Amino acid sequence: MSSYASQKSAIGAGKLVRAALYAVLILFAVYYLLPLFVMLVNSVKTLDEIRGGNMMSLPEHFTFEPWLTAWSTAQIGVEPTGLRPFFVNSLFLVVPAVVISATLGALNGYVLTKWRFPGDKIIFGLMLFACFIPFQIVLIPMARILGLIGLAGTTSGLVLVHVVYGLGFTTLFFRNYYAAFPDELIKAAKMDGAGFIRTFTRILLPSSGPIIVVTVIWQFTNIWNDFLFGASFADFDSMPMTVALNNLVSSSTGVKEYNVHFAGAILAALPTLVVYIVSGRYFVRGLMAGAVKG
């Protein structure tokens, strides 16, 4: 009887702990979601309503106007172009930069683990070192090199910068993932007559799903969100979204259109948000897959 009672009280205590746990989790979720909520509600209000105060209230007059303005007519440079051309700039920047850096990182990882050569560990160490170099340090030498090779102020130049900077990370990801990939499979492929490229494309790459997702998310968010390189190396025609958003928000003429700014900021964050939602669960799984062998 007493054991039944103690069991019952243990269950009761368990429920209490669980409730407390959920309370804390919900609190933190609200904490993190609040800024997004503020941005969302204010991006669909009229400017008058925002000026009236109370940032937290739901809109009285629902309007999509700020979104359309931010997208296609907001004054960013001389012309009222909206964020659209810069969004396109960012896409033309981020897609090739992600594809190239991920491809090279995968090839590096493949060579560093499966086609070992004398000194490969030193090379890998140096590439790892690249992950710790702060952005600011490379600004001036990079500007000089871009000038020398005639890519200053172009999207291609910016792609190059991001590929070079991202290579250390992508190599690290793929190397660690492939280090856990059984060597016997590579040997078997050699015996079967597959060469360097076909072993990679037919055996290794089809098993690399999780780490490709991790690398793409990492590179996509980093490059899409980058402001410093974009502000330093792009000219007006190749300016990425982040820089354009800054110009929109910090323009000193006219009225501050907060609703347009909020809409623009959400637009700028949308692609990374989509990438996370679509492939987020692979992200965690991929990080784990590289960490534990077998």
Partner 1 sequence: MAFLEIDNVCKSFGPVDVLKNISLDVEEGGFLVLVGPSGCGKSTLLNTIAGLEGLTTGEIRIDGDVIDDLPPAERNIAMVFQSYALYPNMNVGQNIAFGLEMRGMPKAERDAKVQEVAKTLQIEALLERRPGQLSGGQRQRVAMGRALVRNPKLFLFDEPLSNLDAKLRVDMRTEIKRMHQTFGTTIVYVTHDQIEAMTLGTKIAVLKGGIVQQYGTPAEIYNNPSNLFVADFMGSPAMNLIPVEIDGSWVRLTRDGDDPLVLDFDQLPASVGNMSGKQVIMGIRPEAITDSQGGAATRASSHRTVTAKCRIDVVEPAGADIFAITALGGKEVVTRLHQDWVGQAGQNHDLVFNLDKVVFFDAQSGERLR
Which parts of this chain interact with partner 1 (CB under 8 A)? 182, 184-185, 187-194, 198, 202-203, 206-207
CB 58 to partner 1: min, Å: 50
142/38 Cα distance (integer angstroms):
39
H or E segment and range at residue 77: none
Q: Are 217 and 276 in contact (CB under 8 A)?
A: yes
Which residues have a Cβ under 8 Å from the Cβ of 117 and sit 6 or more positions away?
Answer: 111
Nearer to partner 1, 144 or 198 (CB): 198
Q: How far is the CB of 182 from partner 1 (least distance, A)?
A: 6
The radius of gyration of the chain's CA atoms, rounded to the nearest angstrom, is: 25
Residue 5 or 191 with smaller CB distance to partner 1: 191
Q: How far is the CB of 185 from partner 1 (least distance, A)?
A: 5
Residue 234 DSSP SS3? strand
CA distance 84 to 42: 21
Q: State in angstroms the smallest separation of the CB of 279 from partner 1.
A: 19
Choice between 9 and 207, CB closer to partner 1: 207
| Residue 161 or 213 having the CB closest to partner 1 | 213
Distance CA 176, CA 180 (A): 7
Question: Least Å distance between CB 178 and partner 1?
Answer: 14
DSSP letters of 165-201? HHHHHHHHHHHHHHHTS-HHHHHHHHHTT--HHHIII
What are the helix (H) ranges across 44-154?
A: 47-51, 65-68, 84-114, 120-129, 135-148
Pick the closer one to partner 1 by CB: 177 or 218.
177
| Nearest distance, CB of residue 63 and partner 1, angstroms | 51
Judged by beta carbon, residue 208 or residue 232, the one nearer partner 1 is 208
Query: Minimum distance from CB of 176 to partner 1 (Å)?
Result: 19
Which amino acid is present at 282? Y
Task: Compare residues 197 and 255 and give the one whose CB is closer to partner 1.
Answer: 197
Phi, then psi, of 29 in degrees rounded to 5: -60, -45
